[in-house]
Structure 1
Amino acid sequence: MPGVLATAHALSRVRLALAAARAAQGAWRGVDRDSLSASWSVALGPVIAAVAGAQLAAAQGTEPWLLRLLGRDPGQAESDRLDPFSLAGITGDGTPLAHALQVPIRTTLRLVGQGMPIAHAMARGQALLNLMVRTAVADAGRAADQVAMVARPAVTSYIRVVEAGACSRCIVLAGREYGTSSGFARHPRCHCGMEPVTAEHKPEAQDPKKVYDSMSEKQRKAAFGEAAVKAIDEGADIGMVVNARRGMTTAVAFGRTVQATTESTTKRGIARKATRSKGPRLMPEEIFRQTDDREHQVRLLRRYGYLL
């Protein structure tokens, strides 16, 4: 089973995501239905601040968590510390929040234009906003965890941490071990986390069937569906019942072939043009995808501002 600290770390990120989603939904409910675009543009600034603030808080929790869990890594350079500001104000694929959070209102306008009643269209837009906000916060936290793990030479891999309320696709991946730079398979609004593995810290891997057994009947049916629950209860292999890869990705992207952003963050503001390098700023996951050489990964993480 994952350690208490890893579980608490993941749950803290879930709470941050929920708080940001509530703030965004409050702003959405105040949108003027007679002036959708204009009123959302006015509301968007505080929403971006709330989401970026939650992303920053999620990323800021990484270094204290790893220090408490693993102690100091003697092989890590003092300069190779995570910069949490580098992961706030953008989505997991590098899109600035100011652009990404226009999608719900554009979706609403499109649905209204297609003849959907405005109340229904607004509800669809709100659901999309909720999904995007919670995903953005979770992705920032997971990216922070992975960047900080790669910067610690003692960390050799990570184990996927899954809670009982997770979906079926995540539950069948519970306890799997991956290299530190392996992309984290997730779906929108996924709240799974990771726990590092070192020579001294070897967390017990979760067993998907034990996670399933710990769930209530209601949770099982919500996650797996009634037919799958019946099959599993009758002895079917949980991994055979669930297609773990369906709907899962290591990049929540919007048609991008390379995960990059032209935005960076500083303590003075949410987002500004990157200054450490010319051209697009690669996202951490793209760095890990492009090279499996750890020293080169660390150099690129420094170059693009993820490590101080």
Structure 2
Amino acid sequence: MSPSPMAVAHATARLRLALAAARAARLAWRRVDRDTPGPSWVAALGPVIAAVAGAQLAAAQSTEPWLEQLLGRDDGKADSDRLNPAALAGVTGDGVPLLTALQIPVWTALSLVTRGVPVVQAMARGQALLDLVVRTAVADAGRAADSVGMMARPAVTSYVRVVESGACSRCVVLAGREYGVSTGFARHPRCHCGMEPVTREHQPKPTSPKAMYDAMSDAERRRTFGEAAVKAIDAGADIGFVVNARRGMATATAFGRTVQATSEQTQRGTFRRREFERLKAEGAIPSSRSIRGFRPQAARLMPEEIFRQAEDREHAVRLLRRYGYIF
């Protein structure tokens, strides 16, 4: 396997969801009143948020069936450790609520206009940013679901990076690399690479960057690496030296914050209910109190922050359960 067709199909299906959500957002953007873009876009946000969150949910919901089909039933997995796809919808991979993230393109466009950029150009740049935000949010939700689903399966020890044709040079040089199951997925905005789990029985043979390069046409090589880089690689230079693999790559972090968390879904949902039950059991709140009006004070950690903080796999699973990512 190099990688398995199921892993490629899984990543491709997620890409289709991201593109569909981006199309819906783009159509709404084109209907924005250019005389009053701010209020006009805010008024149109409801259906856009629904489209993006729906794509995120669908991407996350595809994880469990895919893992079941790829690996079969994991007898070591507790029946209670089921992925909660809804916990990954409605926020970006950085933990920013979609309501906030999807307003950034219009404020960016307005900022450009105040600096003298023509409205048409400013709106075009805002649309490009919107496309980036939407596609990245959907892809991140799907990858986070894959990470959580694999962490909940004790048989999975690591994962291999799945890179499809058309990927950028930074991703190509990472093709086939194997990472520990708790290692955050390195990605850039609009990245659609995926991962394939590794178990004792399921060990995909990774595709090397050189194999991907050799399979490309001359035009694809120039488009991916650039003319000068292609000449260097063809002359015998190592692809990893030609391309700075880490440039622009990062695990999901929010503007340099040390802790990756979100306030989304703290007012309702699984995390809110579990925090309420935990605090009641600890005696921190009266046993007679109703959950109505309760809002957790603790930040809801994102999956990658959980993996970073966890002391071991059992600790990671406990945190995933506490923050509502698995049942």
Which one of 270, 275, 300 corresponds to residue 281 of structure 1? 300
SS at match of 1:186: coil
Match of 2:315 in 1: 296
Letter in 1 for 2:318: R
Cα separation, 1, equivalents of 2:120 and 2:69: 48
In the alignment, is the contact (CA less than 8 A) between 2:271 and 2:323 conserved in 1? Answer: no
Question: 1:276: Cα distance to partner?
Answer: 2.6
* DSSP 3-state at the match of 1:77: coil
What per-residue deviation string (whole Å, max 9, x for no partner) do you get for residues 101-160 of structure 1?
A: 110000000000000000000000000000000000000000000000000000000000
- Does 2:29 align with 1:10? no
TM-score (norm 1): 0.96
Please give the alpha-carbon distance, in whole angstroms, between the structure 2 residues aligned to 1:122 and 1:11: 30
Q: 2:67 — aligned with what?
A: 66
Instruction: Output the amino acid matched with 2:110.
Output: L
Matched-pair contact (CA < 8 Å) for 1:88–1:265: no
Matches within 5 A, 1:110-125: 110-125=111-126
Secondary structure, aligned partner of 2:196: strand
**Secondary structure in 2 aligned to 1:111?**
helix
Equivalent residue letter for 2:7:
A
Cα distance in 1 for partners of 2:33, 2:114 equals: 17
SS in 2 for 1:204: coil
Q: Is the 8 A contact 1:56 1:84 kept in 2?
A: yes
**Alpha-carbon contact 2:253-2:260 (below 8 Å) kept:** no
Whole-angstrom CA distance in 2 between matches of 1:72 and 1:244: 36
Q: Say whether the 8 Å CA contact 1:89–1:265 is kept in structure 2.
A: no
Tell me the SS of whatever aligns to 2:159: strand
In structure 2, the partner of 1:22 is 23
Q: Cα distance 1:67–1:89, how it changes in 2: closer, same or farther (>3 A)?
A: same
Q: Is the 8 A contact 1:162 1:174 kept in 2?
A: yes
User: Tell me, what secondary structure is at the counterpart of 1:49?
Assistant: helix
Rounded to whole Å, the distance in 2 between the matches of 1:292 and 1:182 is 13
- Rounded to whole Å, the distance in 2 between the matches of 1:257 and 1:108 is 29
Instruction: Output aligned runs, 1:149-188, within 5 Å.
Output: 149-188=150-189
Correspondence 1:10-159 to 2 at 5 A: 10-159=11-160
- 2:93–2:137 contact (8 Å) kept in structure 1: yes
Identify the range of structure 1 (245-254 vs 67-76) with the bigger mean alpha-carbon deviation: 245-254
Q: What is the distance in 2 between the residues matched to 1:52 and 1:2?
A: 29
State the distance in 1 between where 2:256 and 2:129 align: 17
Taking the aligned partners of 1:2 and 1:100, their CA distance within structure 2 comes to 33
2:319 maps to amino acid? L
Letter in 2 for 1:85: A
- Listed as ranges, the gaps of 5+ residues in structure 2 are 276-295
Report the number of matched residues: 305
Distance 1:22 1:194 in 2: 25
- In 1, distance between residues paired with 2:48 and 2:108? 18
Q: Deviations over 1:36-76 (max 9, x none)?
A: 11110111111000000000000000000000000000000
Which letter maps to 2:226? Answer: G
Deviation of 1:217 (Å): 2.0
Question: 1:164 offset after TM fit, Å?
Answer: 1.6
Query: What secondary structure does 1:264 align onto?
Result: coil
Q: CA RMSD in A?
A: 1.5
Deviating more after overlay: 251-260 vs 205-214:
251-260
Match of 2:236 in 1: 235
Give the Cα–Cα distance (whole angstroms) in 1 for the partners of residues 23 and 266 of structure 2: 24
Alpha-carbon contact 1:263-1:274 (below 8 Å) kept: no
Q: What is the identity percentage for the equivalent residue pairs of Structure 1 and Structure 2?
A: 71
CA distance in 2, matches of 1:219, 1:61: 31
Please state whether the residue corresponding to 1:32 is helix, strand or coil. coil
Q: Structure 2 length normalisation: TM-score?
A: 0.91
Task: Give distance in 1, aligned partners of 2:62 and 2:270.
Answer: 23
Deviation, structure 1 residue 213: 1.3
Could you tell me which residue of structure 1 aligns to residue 208 of structure 2?
207
Is the aligned partner of 1:305 residue 2:306? no
CA distance in 2, matches of 1:171, 1:292: 31
Q: 1:265 to 1:142 in 2, by over 3 A?
A: farther
SS in 2 for 1:178: strand
User: Deviations 1:173-206 (Å, cap 9, x if unpaired)?
Assistant: 1000000010100100000000000000000111
